[in-house]
Amino acid sequence: MFRKRETLLIIPVLILSVLPLPVARAADALPARHELVPAGAVIVLNFSEPKAAFDLILRPKLIEAVESSPLYKAQVANKGFRQFRSLVRLLERRLETDWKSIVRRLGGGGATWAVGPGKSNLFIIDALDTKVLKEAHDLLLFLVESEAEKKGLPSRAGSTKYAGVTCWSLGPNEAHTIVGRRLMIANSPNILKAALDLRAKTGGKSIASLPAYQQAIKAAPSDAAATVYANTTVLKQIPPVAKALAGQNNPLIALLAAPITEALSNSTWLNISLTIKNDTLTLDAVSDGTLASTGAARFALPAKTSDGAMPNLKVPRRIAAMSLHRDLKGFYAAKDKLFGERTSGLIFFENMMGIFFTGRDLTQEVLAETGPKIRIVVAEQKYDPAAGKPSIRFPAFALVLPLKNPKKFSPVMEEAWQKAIGLVNFTRGQNAQPGLIIDRPVYRKTKYTVAAFTPPADDAPKDVDVRFNFRPTLAMTGNHVIFSSTDSLAKDIIDALAKEADRPTKPLAGMHSMLEMNGAQLDSIMEANRKNLVRQNMVEKGHTQQQAESEMDLLSAAIRTVSRVVLNIGTGKGRSKMSLEVHLNLPPAGSGEK
């Protein structure tokens, strides 16, 4: 009936179907799941509140949308998937209910997955219904034995007694037992025995007894649906992790990631929790590691506890926005520690900065003139009707920096900008390509510098050259300098900064990094580039047009399910914290749900 590989997949499929979970009911006299996890566990994933998760993913209209998707239809054609669906239908008939109810009854009591040293794995799953658990287990044993009998082999489903309970094994890398409504599965008999010893109080210490674990769990929100504990002291000894935390040779990655990697390097534990409220998922990460005032990443550390990054700028058609607290002078002064290898790209950058800023020292005379409140904006473009719309449409992007001495440094910045535009024109001229023409118009009493290509002729094709995505713009308003890929976005930012000046905005205390994304606007720009993306998919993957369009439809559908993403990262009270909010745009729950 089932091939060996597909039969062995049944256990993880059952496990995955029950991942969300709440606390065991007192009437069942089951110890807390983490009390059965040996103290040597490195990662412990615990689901503690299943209802919100089940209500989110099992709503009828969402299931209908998934089943009508091209990806699901492709899976239906798979033999192994069809056999799994037959197994599910068989279980539905035996329990006289549908699969959604089975999932809720199997997973409603909670689950824990622990990963220890030596690739050891332990799953502990609490069902709400003992009958459903027993029926699923009996069906599994029946299938394994039927498969062996079909091939004329002895049954692989052996059983033995240990610590007063019956334990089964379906192979050398699997052992499991059922205690009341609790299913315990391990990838070796010894791991299962260690958990049963803790249950019988004849073993060593559990993870629940460790102070670091207790601190990590206490740091999670009380209404978290799931938590992940990680022993970072052990994880940091794994070569790939140690390499990732050691530093970056890419200055841009170091600027963004150094505060995070340094905090994790100084930590002994990390806790990540998932909270589900309505259609919003929130991931909160907390660790006991933080930024040191003498560390290489101190350039991201606000000088005062009340200081931090500024709120993101709001502009029309915004796709994404980022706000950072970064002392650029301190960052570049620590370059030997942050990115010690001077790559050819970095040497070229430093040489060009020397030309643009007339030999001024990049650290002490240029970056020292900027403040730490850095903001970045990405927005869908509003194209100049005179130029038309390019065949490939890029979003506009801008960097906004505060200046400490705007009157003194503005002319220096203007000179550097015009030198950069001149270099671009010189290079394009060498390749017989059109150059940029500089203009200095005024908007809201702000004179800005824009460089634009000459509009195409009236008889030019409808979709014009990709170069018309760019109208490089430098604007200085108040004590801010704006570097923008288009003058349209620069004007929107001037408006946003004027509103901010009218209603003074305070920085977010302790936050050094913030990011926001708008799903609908991202989907809009992808739709504008759909033809090119489909063509690229066909060339790179060798797909037919229909296959490429199906992949695009799936990607667009996935993007449309996310209306907004908000990420905040900071430090405070000796802890490093991160919060990721994902606001979903899902079909309504409907009245027929249980």
Answer whether residue 17 shows pLDDT above 60: no
Q: What is the pLDDT of residue 459?
A: 62
How many angstroms separate the CA atoms of 371 and 406, rounded? 11
Of the pLDDT bands very low, low, confident and very high (cuts 50, 70, 90), residue 11 is very low
Identify the CA nearest to 563 among candidates 522, 503, 510: 522
Q: What ranges do the domains of the chain cover?
A: 4-209, 302-327+371-518
How many angstroms separate the CA atoms of 90 and 143, rounded? 12
Answer whether residue 590 shows pLDDT above 80: no
How many angstroms separate the CA atoms of 159 and 156, rounded? 10
Q: What is the pLDDT of residue 460?
A: 60
Answer whether residue 503 shows pLDDT above 60: yes
List, in sequence order, every residue forming a beta bridge with 276; answer none if it has no partner: 281
Q: Are 409 and 401 in contact (CB under 8 A)?
A: no
For residue 151, count other CB atoms closer than 10 A to its CB: 8
Alpha-carbon distances of 396 from 316, 378, 533, rounded to whole Å: 11, 6, 19
How many angstroms separate the CA atoms of 187 and 184, rounded? 11
Name the residue with higher pLDDT: 270 or 48.
270
Percent of the chain at pLDDT > 90 equals 58
Q: For 457-476, what is the mean pLDDT?
A: 84
Answer whether residue 15 shows pLDDT above 60: no
Q: What is the pLDDT of residue 16?
A: 36
Q: For 209-237, what is the mean pLDDT?
A: 94
* Encoded tokens for 402: 């505060």
Q: For 47-59, what is the mean pLDDT?
A: 84
SS3 381: coil
Answer whether residue 19 shows pLDDT above 80: no
Which helix (H) or strand (E) segment holds residue 353: the answer is helix 344-356
How many angstroms separate the CA atoms of 104 and 59, rounded? 12
Q: What is the pLDDT of residue 147?
A: 74
Name the residue with higher pLDDT: 504 or 325.
325
Q: What is the pLDDT of residue 96?
A: 85
Q: What is the pLDDT of residue 591?
A: 43
Name the residue with higher pLDDT: 298 or 66.
298
Q: What is the pLDDT of residue 63?
A: 83
Q: What is the pLDDT of residue 84?
A: 83
Q: For 44-61, what is the mean pLDDT?
A: 86
How many angstroms separate the CA atoms of 585 and 582, rounded? 10
List, in sequence order, every residue forming a beta bridge with 231; answer none if it has no partner: 269
Chain length of the chain = 594
Of the pLDDT bands very low, low, confident and very high (cuts 50, 70, 90), residue 362 is very high
User: 418-462 pLDDT, tens per residue?
Assistant: 999 999 999 999 999 999 999 999 999 999 999 999 888 766 656
Of the pLDDT bands very low, low, confident and very high (cuts 50, 70, 90), residue 21 is very low
Percent of the chain at pLDDT > 70 equals 93
Answer whether residue 6 shows pLDDT above 60: no
Q: Are 519 and 559 in contact (CB under 8 A)?
A: yes
Highest mean pLDDT among 88-97, 276-285, 343-352: 276-285
Of the pLDDT bands very low, low, confident and very high (cuts 50, 70, 90), residue 547 is confident
Question: Which of these ranges, 233-242, 392-401, 480-489, 583-592, has the smallest mean pLDDT?
Answer: 583-592
Of the pLDDT bands very low, low, confident and very high (cuts 50, 70, 90), residue 473 is very high
Q: What is the pLDDT of residue 593?
A: 45
Question: Which of these ranges, 25-29, 151-155, 241-245, 413-417, has the smallest mean pLDDT?
Answer: 25-29
User: 376-429 pLDDT, tens per residue?
Assistant: 999 999 887 777 888 899 999 999 999 999 999 999 999 999 999 999 999 999
How many angstroms separate the CA atoms of 95 and 90, rounded? 9
Beta-strand (E) ranges in 233-338?
269-277, 280-287, 318-325
* Encoded tokens for 454: 């000459």
How many angstroms separate the CA atoms of 97 and 399, rounded? 57
Name the residue with higher pLDDT: 535 or 69.
535
Q: What is the pLDDT of residue 122?
A: 96
Q: What is the pLDDT of residue 336?
A: 85
Answer whether residue 339 shows pLDDT above 70: yes
SS3 463: strand
Q: What is the pLDDT of residue 64?
A: 82
Name the residue with higher pLDDT: 11 or 477.
477
